[in-house]
Amino acid sequence: MRILLTGHKGQLGRALLARLEVDHIIRGIDLPEEDITDRDAMVTLVRAFEPELIINSAAMTHVDGCARDPELAYRVNGMGVQNLALSAAAIGAEMMQISTNEVFDGAAQAPYDEWAERQPINAYGRSKLAGEWYVQNLLTRFYVVRTAWLYAAEGKNFPHRILELAAERDRLQVVTDEVSNPTYVPDLVEALVKLIDTHAYGNYHLVNEGGASRFDFARALVGDSTTVEPITSAAFNRESTPPPYAPLANTAAAALNIRLRPWKEAVDAFIAEAGTRI
C-alpha cells in the first residue's frame, strides 16, 4: 500500500514510519518542509504521490498552547485536517485521523465508548473535534482513532518528565483528579497496523486497557524509590482545563479482536526499553 504519513517527526509518527516502511511504500511529511495548513501544497503533494491511505498524526498537541492561541489550534487541528480530507477525497484515498480523549468533557461515570456525545471543554479538544468533523463529513472511507496520554521511550512526554523530577527530588506531587488511559506508542502502532488491514472504517478507541490517574501513572513509573503525594488540579494554575475523567473504552476495535495490553504492563515495557527506573 502507498501511505502518506503526516507528522512523521513526532513520537507517534516516528514509530509509525519505522513500522509501516517494512511492508508498505510510505512517505513521511512534517514541518518545516511541509505544512498541512497549506491547502494548495497538500493537494499538489497528494496528487503527486497518489497514496492509497493518508495517516494524519500531525497536530498541535500542546494543550496550554492551544488555550493561549485557539485560532492557531483550529487552523492546524481543524483546517489542516480539512485540507488532508479534501485531498484524500479528490483521489479516492482512505484516511486515518488520530484524535484524542479530550473531545469528551470528562463528566462521565464510566469510560467513553466510540459513540458517546462529544463535548470538549478546552481549545485543544474543540480543535480536534473540528478535525474529526471534517473527516467524518468529507469522506466515506475513514478511521477516526481516539487515543490518550501517549508516551514512548523517545520524545518529550509525561513519563520522561516524572523520571527526570524523581532523579532530582525525593518527593513528588501529582494530581489524582485527572483520569484517562496511559498509552504506550509501540502498542498503539501495532493496533493501528491491524486496523488498517481490516478496511473496517469508522470510529475507534485505541488505548492501553484500564483507567489511571496521573498519580497512579507516576507511582507505576517510579516504583518505591520516590514518594509520590496525591494532590488535586486546584493546586495548579493552568491555561487549559483537561477533562477530569476521560478514559476510553475500546468497544469497536475489540469486536475486530484488536486490543492493547493493560496499561501497567505497558509501563513495565517502557521502563525496560528506556533503560531506567529511578
User: Span 66-94, mean pLDDT?
Assistant: 98
User: Span 69-74, mean pLDDT?
Assistant: 98
> Quick check: 59 and 76 in contact, CB under 8 A?
yes
User: Span 12-29, mean pLDDT?
Assistant: 97
pLDDT at 24 over 70: yes
pLDDT at 171 over 50: yes
What contacts 74, CB < 8 A, 6 or more positions away?
Answer: 123, 126, 127, 130
pLDDT at 46 over 90: yes
Residue 90 cell numbers, joined: 479528490
pLDDT at 278 over 50: no
Spatial distance between the Cα atoms of 56 and 98, rounded to a whole number of angstroms: 6
To the query of whether residue 204 is one of the catalytic residues in this protein, the response is no
Instruction: Write down the H helix ranges in 92-208.
Output: 123-138, 158-168, 185-198
Q: How many CB atoms lie within 10 A of CB 256?
A: 14
> Quick check: 197 and 24 in contact, CB under 8 A?
no
Give 245's pLDDT tier (boundaries 50, 70, 90). very high
Rounded to whole angstroms, what are the CA distances from 166 to 102, 216, 246? Answer: 28, 15, 26
Instruction: Write down the H helix ranges in 21-69.
Output: 39-49, 63-68
Give 173's pLDDT tier (boundaries 50, 70, 90). very high
User: Span 150-156, mean pLDDT?
Assistant: 90
pTM for this entry: 0.95
The pLDDT score that the predictor gives to residue 275 is 67
pLDDT at 182 over 70: yes
pLDDT digits (tens, 9 = 90+) for 204-228: 999 999 999 999 999 999 988 899 9
User: Span 263-273, mean pLDDT?
Assistant: 95
Domains and CATH numbers, the chain: 2-274 (3.40.50.720)
Catalytic residue among 74, 124, 143, 184: 124
pLDDT above 70 coverage of the chain, percent? 99
The pLDDT score that the predictor gives to residue 55 is 98
Give 237's pLDDT tier (boundaries 50, 70, 90). confident
To the nearest 10°, the Cα dihedral for 4, 258, 188, 139?
30
Give 155's pLDDT tier (boundaries 50, 70, 90). confident
Instruction: Write down the H helix ranges in the chain.
Output: 11-20, 39-49, 63-68, 70-74, 80-91, 123-138, 158-168, 185-198, 214-222, 263-274
Q: In this structure, which long-range contacts are made by residues 189-193, counting pairs with CB atoms below 8 Å and at least 24 apart in sequence?
A: 189/12, 189/15, 189/16, 189/19, 190/19, 191/253, 191/258, 191/259, 191/260, 192/16, 192/55, 192/96, 192/145, 193/19, 193/20
Reduced to 3 states (helix: H, G, I; strand: E, B; else coil), residue 170 is coil
What contacts 1, CB < 8 A, 6 or more positions away?
Answer: 24, 25, 52, 53, 196
The pLDDT score that the predictor gives to residue 276 is 55
pLDDT at 66 over 80: yes
pLDDT at 277 over 60: no
What contacts 200, CB < 8 A, 6 or more positions away?
Answer: 256
- The end-to-end CA distance of the chain, in Å, is 42
The pLDDT score that the predictor gives to residue 224 is 82
Q: Share the mean pLDDT of the chain.
A: 95
The pLDDT score that the predictor gives to residue 193 is 98
Rounded to whole angstroms, what are the CA distances from 70 to 76, 122, 229? Answer: 10, 9, 33
Which one is predicted more confidently, 245 or 235?
245
